[in-house]
Chain A
Amino acid sequence: MSTKFTEDHEWITIDGDVATVGITAYAAEQLGDVVFVELPDVGKTVSKGDEFAVVESVKAASEVYAPVDGEIVEVNGELEGEPAKVNEEPTAGGWFVKFKLSDASQLEGLMDEAAYKAHIA
């Protein structure tokens, strides 16, 4: 399992050809208290850079972008009743969706943890 990061503060953890995606602790902190997460339908195909979810705080809505091409195979149903999980556990229980990757080579273009830490410094 490895985790990569995008410039828009999404993390993607790869396990075989399924990847879990969420937003980073940094992003969650910038957003403030999350009050609602709008998730896509399972089965939806997205391309890298497409908006696939929206995360809402009290004051504003922010788009979340697909880090890679793929098909949504699972969404985190718990976020409906507990959007605060995004703030409490952004990299664990606050995950957004699971993707089936269509092009694993796209991961190479993403940042590793060290690069992401430098990005937000």
Chain B
Amino acid sequence: MTDTLLKTPLHALHVELGGKMVPFAGYDMPVQYPLGIMGEHNHCRAKAGLFDVSHMGQARYVGDEAALEALITADLSALGAGEQKYTLLLNDKGGIRDDLMVSRPAGEGLFLVVNAATKTEDFALIEAATAGKGTLTRINDRALLALQGPEAKDVMARLCPAACEMVFMQCGAFELDGVEVLISRSGYTGEDGFEISIPEADGARIAKLLLAQDEVEAIGLGARDSLRLEAGLCLYGHDMDENRTPVEASLIWAMAKTRRERGDFPGAAIIAQQIQDKTCQKRIGLRLEGAPAREGAEIADKDGNIIGIVTSGGFGPTIEGPVAMGYIDRAFMAEGTEVDLIVRGRARAATVTKMPFVPNNFYRG
């Protein structure tokens, strides 16, 4: 089975570090290391964690940016040099095909990072839609690392001081350990941190250099999931998919105002209608005591009527309790609304909670 799984440039390092390897998006990835999911999660929020996210899809786009912009919700004319935006790739029904980062770090054109599970489809779509107008180049020879946590900046101050001058969602080309890398000040944990794109031949060496820093521990996908859940961030394929619009997903903020005004993106009419009608379900956070409620658990009102569904859920080590995310009928979306989550056939009391569950620590200068 593992013969057919893909490996990132850090695979041997994960095994060497004692990573418990599992299949994820077609790759053999570490779900945890000996420190364990709780230990890794807590370490990231206290100090700094290093994540291998090389399985994600990196690409360059050069050419007519309007052709690419037509597929996403960002305003690319407002994306200046050294800036990055979080945006959504939509289908004709306004449903979300993927979430991605688009940036202008250095060199020609745009740099894209999409999810591992959807990269093949995303890039095929972009290539087809921009044919003759721009060139998409898939980047298959670079590692991608995320260094996240309050002490990530202390590590970077030592190894790449220029990167510390960036604030949240800035990006650029830098030299790290003698290698030219692309770094953005961003991540998916709710903490301050940096995402680093490295030529694959240098990936493992730079990862080891980062891990050699006192502040840093290796973090697996298990803790990556609990960290993003506490941060109220969606996991594509679970908290959003092709059948959910940004309105339902409470991601209108990921749609540039100028684009919404122009309505020049897929599904614009449907989305405009949803914003106007205010009747669609909404993604909300949930807190409960006792047993966690996980993906697929139904949400019920106090009379037992089903009013929604949990799309992500687990235990939040920083919260020290269960947390969940899901979609709920509009009438119940207000913070503080008491509902029931059906876990193992029993109704468990839960409360609609604002996200993030843990305050964000993005560095804004």
Contacts and interface: CB of A to CB of B under 8 A. Distances in A.
A35 B223 CA distance: 14
Contacts, number: 46
Interface of A: 32-33, 35-36, 38, 54, 56-61
A38 B226 contact: no
Contacts of B39: 33
B344 A32 contact: no
Interface of B: 31-32, 36-39, 41, 222-223, 225-226, 290-292, 294, 314-315, 317, 322, 344
Q: Does more than half of chain B's interface fall in helix, strand or loop, or is it mixed?
A: mixed
Contacts of B314: 58-59
B10 to A, nearest CB: 21
B36 A36 contact: no
Nearest to A63: B344
Given A54-B344, A61-B291, A33 B38 contact: yes
A58 B291 contact: no
A56 B291 contact: yes
Given A58-B226, A58-B317, A59-B222, A35 B36 contact: no
21 contacts: A32-B32, A32-B36, A32-B38, A32-B222, A36-B290, A36-B291, A36-B292, A36-B322, A56-B291, A56-B292, A57-B37, A58-B37, A58-B38, A58-B223, A58-B314, A59-B31, A59-B37, A59-B226, A59-B314, A60-B294, A61-B294
A72 to B, nearest CB: 17
A61 B297 CA distance: 13
Contacts of A61: 291-292, 294
A59 B222 CA distance: 7
Closest 7 CB pairs between A and B?
A33-B38, A35-B315, A58-B37, A58-B315, A38-B291, A33-B36, A36-B291
Contacts of B226: 58-59
B142 to A, nearest CB: 29
Give the residue among A33, A38, A60 with the most B Cβ atoms within 10 A: A33
B344 A35 contact: no
Nearest to A60: B294
A54 B37 contact: no
A59 B291 contact: no
B225 A59 contact: yes
Contacts of B36: 32-33
Contacts of A57: 37, 315
B346 to A, nearest CB: 9
A58 B344 contact: no
A82 to B, nearest CB: 12
B324 to A, nearest CB: 13
A32 B37 contact: yes
Contacts of A60: 294
A52 to B, nearest CB: 12
A54 B225 CA distance: 22
Given A54-B344, A56-B292, 4 more contacts: A32-B222, A33-B38, A36-B292, A58-B41
Given A32-B37, A33-B36, A36-B315, A58 B222 contact: yes
A56 B226 CA distance: 14
B226 to A, nearest CB: 6
A38 B290 CA distance: 8
Nearest to B221: A59
A38 B32 contact: no
Contacts of B290: 36, 38
A35 B290 CA distance: 9
B37 A33 contact: yes
A11 B295 CA distance: 31
B35 to A, nearest CB: 10
A56 B36 CA distance: 14
Contacts of A59: 31, 37, 222, 225-226, 314
B147 to A, nearest CB: 22
A39 to B, nearest CB: 11
